Structure 1
């Protein structure tokens, strides 16, 4: 087979970025049923919309690569927009199993592969032929840092052979569960007795993909539940409800306690409570009131109240016994302070206890809060686990905050009852595996005794596959089943052990009932895992291995797309041990090579970890060397295709916009040192915009996808002055293309890095005045400075009215100032103030002047009727109409269509106004211009479909 010649791919020219970002953000806010990230917790997992779209654009040719088929610029752009529309539909999660959409996406990839090989593509309507062609002729996709396996999973969904690897054993198990096991047993009927009985009565199994596996996961998880209840059900009693009924407990809410340092408390153990509020629902809040009771332990008890608390009690309820930051509290009995240092010393001495705050129980699907009872505290204390997970927590204060309070082992962050439940269920995973093997043989599944890890596909391997998912179910229970899980008062639900990227101390915590109806119960956890399997219908094979990325020997056939570690953002290995210590006892016999060590490998983990590597300088050097080695190896992949590499920004890096960020600069430096050139950058929104840090702001995209190609062997060396000249010559057109591609103003600075670094990285070196090689950090600063200069030069191209308005806006916004200020600005642009008033850009306030507010602009304005049309008016009227109740995209599109040549300049002005508003801190104004700029391409398209008045020649002349 002749290797395809390198051709420009769609991702190197244009992608429908806003549609991809919208879907990515949507799924971060609320992951739908069956979304693959729910199969197991992992960190910094990319949204499938982004992975799917990036892979598609990485493999599909840009129309400009085929001038014989698309000879004109117009034809190329029309084809490009057609591909964009496919991507917009394809990237939606709801399209994942819609054959008509996914088959079209697969065929487009097959077409590009076929054309490059000089062959005809298979029939567009023949799904099987397209899949067969892709498996035989399309390059396989490799992700050497596969993590949560989002990239190889989406490669599979696109009909491509998928390969992933990771050093982290937890990531490897996740990858196997998503891309390796499902295709192996695709289409298999379930083997459990219930399903066999139904099939024996004449029912047929006509489901697809891994739905048979999913059915068995649900069945055998329920079998584990029933077996566990027989063994430890007595530890989970019902709760007496106010009406005398017995309710199924959802969760027990506990507070940690400590001996009061005040002698007046007579050695009482007092609660450390961050809040007494249990439910914050308006009109029916629920809270705990501590009351004096000489008969109760330590002289107090907790009573649950509900309704509307009085204002005097609100602060006490909200803050509990917490006092300020850290672990500072107040003694419940005497009001004396309990210092952070005292709490830590008592914790390290093992003298922190617990006290039951309240019980959450349910009857007939109605959830209620009841006061604690002594019997429930006693039964919890009776639990004695047969074994505990091994391992000591790392002494890393960046991510592990329980160690300083004496909770320094993995076992110590669970209550004895939690340990009893989890160890019992972990043991049952192994028992279930034996039962599934027997049931599979009874169901008629052949068995060669070959284990799953050795490529087996019979009854033994199938049972081990189901057991793998059952272990993930238990691990999900671990995630919702430690003493670090808070109670979510807004949602009346269990919190997680690790809501952030670390293990934080929780002073009051929720202990879920594994046999109740909460996020921590086995039925709920099994449903989440099985639902993921239901949605996996990937036709191509996949393989995930445990491999160090810096030691991989790539074949030249692979297309590489990867999401590597981000400098010092996340300590994957340390965090993964929280799960590994549970997975190892359950899956060690099934995957002996993956679980051969007591903990996850750490010495070779490619992150900058000062506590492990001896300081920040040594950590940076370690990261740089390792990343350079890893990228040097992946650069040996298929040269006919670009490489895509994700980089995730931390929030502090976003505020620096990548200029002074050590992680960002080091990452780019490693790419360039590895012999790659940066061909483009696409900002992807992969974080939840509802986060407090992003609300009401123009938050930057949280990831950048870098598009890279191998640098030419004969690349030239240039000087700093030549680099700047090239930037000034090439960036304006590149910036214009980025805007036309729909990149919003908020993401421009990150996007401009692409063409800027493209110029820098296509050269062997850029020499400074002293002949030293320019660093990436310096190049980034220069690129940003030149970009700002280009934008400022654009101001002079606008019409005089717009220039004056822009200068006024940059200084005063929409505020009124004396007319003398306007006269000065008008004289500088050689225009009269009367002309500014007549144009309706400014309003005359009798001795004062101001920009005309959007709400005062005439509702009947049309570009075709305005004889003094200005770019300023075009922007402000379009923004007004787009956001009006009786306006919207169609009305705004009609205005844009009438602007003619002025429309392109109006788009540029929207970007400029966003930058000014952002610099001034006018967040609401900046949001308006960001939305307008992002929507401009859609408005242009909308405008072509609505009827337009004829523009008279005199009005149409707008030569800028």
Structure 2
């Protein structure tokens, strides 16, 4: 880092370079630029992202040492360096701690978090009775109940009867629930050991899609998922408390018990109508979840139509109280410290609301680690509501974290926040400069022409994440906590017409139900046009010798095509590209393990015209050379395909255009498919020492597809590029090689429609596998129908390869393995079946075989 800092200083001796990220998100890129002494600037359309950037790379890098002492006693949030994994902190006993040796900001954030937690716990105490040991439970397990359409009695939608798995090493037998019915009522028993009763709301054995079955005797009425959903829209859902979670003092074990009557009564006593409004905003968010968003905010597909309804009444009370306390503390701080410092501290406290929401709402479930057989450690946590990327999940049986100590509580997530802040402060060099963050659209940057030295950005990933829709849940709470203190972000000026974040200029492709709901973001063409406009803005603000770096990752080539087209349409040329491990390797959450950094410059005024044949050869040679390095780095084959696009465009970018002998311009898409073909050839797949290129095109495609994806579904765009890499049409592959699914296309492993001499080798071996149950003669007949020599080396090479690639228990693998064991018999039978017929008596002429 020191060397890089020195090189940057030498390159920019008079003043630091200006580095802009126009899609700054959480502020990671500006933070790194600021650490190296650059003037770091970040813009983002989302107020939530803008705040995240300020907390990460602005406030954390400022010198607050001259601020007055805070008017609070001290801190009881642990000063630890534990790996908390956000919400996994155990119970602590703390004395008041203030440490003069640590950074002022860290100390004061700790004090504010402690004060918020103390006040909130005091205010909501009447609704959370203490346990017998005097401490409050750390969590409460709830379930939604519905009336049965058969017997009309209510029953809970319980998706799992497991509370805590057993753990053999410690002798822990685990805990589970059992639903007991008594007349028209039901109750929950909590027992030791694994469940002895099936869940109420689950997928029937051998079927897809969950359903609820009434648990009352002599009823058992089934309720398919669509009926369960309809009951939500008919306001027939009611919450019921199932269990209470405590921490065993001696063992620190998370244990569950049946709720006491006073605990149930306290929760039912919550009256949200008594809460004061926030400058005209309701205490609990009443902003509606946009139509067509049920695939992104799952609760809206079950009748929970506002963001406030995603929580039960007591959860809403807890968060509304927390937001109110943060506003009050900000006002108190503003009297003592500077307005900027009061705002910063309130911002950190409010960000802890986000951390808590991630493990709250009706999407938070009981995360019981371990296994039913007791073989693994059996911790208990609150599961993350974003466990499926950016989708806000929904649970009918959900966990409510309380105001005390334990996973998902304010104190627990405070530990995670403080550890993150401490890491930033520890790793930031003294020469680091605070970043500057503004809420702004990437298609209308608020900066003068030619003022930026480098623009580094990680643009929206096509249709992968609906950024604003996923963070609206946070936005509605930020408006209540920070509406007075952060003007321009949460005071309503950033609102769209629905009271949520303004999405007019958001550059994503909103999928599935968005088009039907009239969402303007559902168009791929709009995405490409908006991205091109943002890159045009990037070209405007960049200096003449400025650099643009675009970091991108997506498995669908269509997303890459639109990104690279937008880049070139804006007047940039790719100058370099390199893959790097990010996302999953760091967070363990996202699905992208490799992204590609694309280096670009404004296209020079004079570039030669390229001749297709020469450019093609250069692209193939360059990609193949890079593949050797990617192999050495352990880059997966699918990641090499993704990385090859930028490498190809770096070659093409040397030319104003590339033309064929007829004078036609070669399109960008062609070089993406050429790069993919070069990767495939560089891999040099061999089947029983036979090069892949010696097989027929359909078989080549099937083998390479299998190498990459096996039996998984592949998006249509990726499938199309696959076909083009072998000069094939996707339409011609549908049926013989591929089958179409809802998610795209899947490689066929079942029996082909018919085997003829025109069939590919891959179809022939599928036909052979499908006929194995009928015996070797039936298998041999398939070879004869294909008019193949029984000893064809390519045929047996494909059989060997596919059998080895499939799991040993796969029916196709089992059949092919049996065919290999009986190879001699199959070949002999096929030889007979293929023999010419003697015209005299209609028998096969055996001599003609040799």
Structure 2: distance between partners of 1:617 and 1:300: 47
Structure 1: distance between partners of 2:585 and 2:316: 36
**Partner of residue 329, structure 2:** 432
**Partner of residue 671, structure 1:** 567
Q: CA deviation at 1:921?
A: 3.6
Structure 1: distance between partners of 2:51 and 2:469: 16
Aligned equivalent of 1:379, options 266, 279, 300: 266
Q: CA deviation at 1:632?
A: 2.0
Q: How does 1:108-119 map to 2 (within 5 A)?
A: 108-111=7-10, 113=11
Structure 2: distance between partners of 1:248 and 1:196: 22
Q: What secondary structure is seen at the aligned counterpart in 1 of 2:508?
A: coil
- The answer to whether the aligner puts 1:511 opposite 2:400 as a matched pair is yes
- The answer to whether the aligner puts 1:562 opposite 2:457 as a matched pair is yes
Single out whichever of 408-417 and 776-785 deviates more from structure 2.
Answer: 776-785
**Partner of residue 40, structure 1:** none
Structure 2: distance between partners of 1:153 and 1:923: 46
- The answer to whether the aligner puts 1:352 opposite 2:237 as a matched pair is yes
Q: What secondary structure is seen at the aligned counterpart in 1 of 2:443?
A: helix
Q: CA deviation at 1:557?
A: 3.6
Q: CA deviation at 1:288?
A: 0.2
Q: CA deviation at 1:373?
A: 2.9
Q: 1:190–1:196: 8 Å Cα contact kept in structure 2?
A: no
Q: How does 1:9-408 map to 2 (within 5 A)?
A: 102-111=1-10, 113=11, 136-187=14-65, 191-193=69-71, 207=101, 211-240=103-132, 245=133, 248-262=136-150, 265=151, 267-283=152-168, 284-294=173-183, 298-308=184-194, 313=196, 316-317=197-198, 323=204, 324-333=207-216, 334-364=219-249, 365-385=252-272, 386=275, 387-395=283-291, 396-408=293-305
Aligned equivalent of 2:504, options 590, 603, 623: 603
Structure 2: distance between partners of 1:624 and 1:546: 22
Structure 2: distance between partners of 1:471 and 1:299: 42
Q: 2:454–2:548: 8 Å Cα contact kept in structure 1?
A: yes
Q: CA deviation at 1:180?
A: 1.7
- The answer to whether the aligner puts 1:497 opposite 2:392 as a matched pair is no
TM-score, normalization: structure 1? 0.61
Aligned equivalent of 2:603, options 701, 705, 711: 711
Q: How does 1:416-427 map to 2 (within 5 A)?
A: 416-427=313-324
Structure 1: distance between partners of 2:415 and 2:67: 18
Q: CA deviation at 1:809?
A: 11
Q: 1:254–1:356: 8 Å Cα contact kept in structure 2?
A: yes
Aligned equivalent of 1:622, options 526, 546, 553: 526
**Partner of residue 854, structure 1:** none
Structure 2: distance between partners of 1:141 and 1:692: 29
Structure 1: distance between partners of 2:190 and 2:181: 14
**Partner of residue 778, structure 1:** 670
Q: What secondary structure is seen at the aligned counterpart in 2 of 1:549?
A: coil
Q: 2:584–2:592: 8 Å Cα contact kept in structure 1?
A: no
Q: 1:322–1:330: 8 Å Cα contact kept in structure 2?
A: no
Structure 1: distance between partners of 2:801 and 2:38: 45
Q: CA deviation at 1:398?
A: 3.0
- Residue by residue, what CA displacement relative to the aligned partner does 1:26-56 show, whole Å, maximum 9, x if unpaired? xxxxxxxxxxxxxxxxxxxxxxxxxxxxxxx
Q: Which runs of 5+ in 2 are unaligned?
A: 77-96, 276-282, 370-378, 696-799, 809-850
Q: 1:487–1:493: 8 Å Cα contact kept in structure 2?
A: yes
Q: CA deviation at 1:922?
A: 7.3
**Partner of residue 680, structure 1:** 576
Single out whichever of 772-781 and 328-337 deviates more from structure 2.
Answer: 772-781
TM-score, normalization: structure 2? 0.69
Q: Name the structure with the higher helix share.
A: 1
Residues 615/720 of structure 1: CA separation in 2 closer, same or farther (3 Å cut): farther
Single out whichever of 429-438 and 566-575 deviates more from structure 2.
Answer: 429-438
Q: 1:215–1:530: 8 Å Cα contact kept in structure 2?
A: no
Structure 2: distance between partners of 1:536 and 1:689: 19
Structure 2: distance between partners of 1:509 and 1:204: 37
**Partner of residue 749, structure 1:** 641
Structure 2: distance between partners of 1:330 and 1:495: 25
Residues 919/404 of structure 1: CA separation in 2 closer, same or farther (3 Å cut): same
Q: CA deviation at 1:376?
A: 2.0
**Partner of residue 574, structure 1:** 469
Q: CA deviation at 1:250?
A: 1.1
**Partner of residue 472, structure 1:** 351
Structure 2: distance between partners of 1:918 and 1:559: 49
Counting matched residue pairs gives 638
Q: CA deviation at 1:104?
A: 3.7
Residues 222/300 of structure 1: CA separation in 2 closer, same or farther (3 Å cut): same
Q: 2:23–2:459: 8 Å Cα contact kept in structure 1?
A: yes
Q: CA deviation at 1:488?
A: 0.2
Structure 2: distance between partners of 1:326 and 1:690: 33
Structure 1: distance between partners of 2:803 and 2:433: 49
Structure 1: distance between partners of 2:592 and 2:299: 32
Structure 2: distance between partners of 1:502 and 1:150: 22
Q: 2:200–2:215: 8 Å Cα contact kept in structure 1?
A: no
Structure 1: distance between partners of 2:664 and 2:521: 22
Query: What CA RMSD, in Å, does the superposition of the two structures yield over aligned residues?
Result: 3.5
Q: CA deviation at 1:773?
A: 3.9
Structure 2: distance between partners of 1:578 and 1:496: 14
